[in-house]
Amino acid sequence: MMKLRIWDEGGERAVPASIEMVEQIFAPDAPLRVGTEISLTDAGRWLAALALEPASLRPGEEAVQFLLSGGNGGTAVVTGRLERQEAVRRFREFILVAG
């Protein structure tokens, strides 16, 4: 079963992964703090997002953004900073590929 984990100041929470839960966690009004890590794991694949606050924002950018990393077996990839909407899209895609 795919797991969605959230690590923040309150500790770690693990819940069954679903698109609805991903959308709830990344919702614009969700209380995400800088340093919060959100991850999905499924049969050797993983995707993680780290909430960060860039030192300088580009025009129109959100204050909280995400650094994503993911992998499959021995391969890993890290992105540059992404906005919330793109992070949600990639988490949805991860879940759909497993489905």
**Domains of the chain: total:** 1
5-53: pLDDT as tens digits: 999 887 899 999 999 999 999 998 887 888 999 999 988 889 999 999 8
Q: What is the mean pLDDT of residues 56-74?
A: 81
Which of 58-62, 71-75, 80-84 shows the lowest per-residue confidence on average (mean pLDDT)? 58-62
Q: How many CB atoms are closer than 10 A to CB 4?
A: 20
pLDDT confidence of residue 28: 84
Number of other residues whose CB lies within 10 A of the CB of residue 41: 17
Please give the residue range of the domain that contains residue 18: 3-98
pTM of the model: 0.86
Sheet (strand 45-52) strand order: 11-16, 3-8, 37-42, 45-52, 65-72, 75-82
Q: What are phi and psi of 57, to 5 degrees?
A: -100, 145
Residue 48: exposure state from Cβ atoms within 10 A (0-12, 13-18, ≥19):
buried
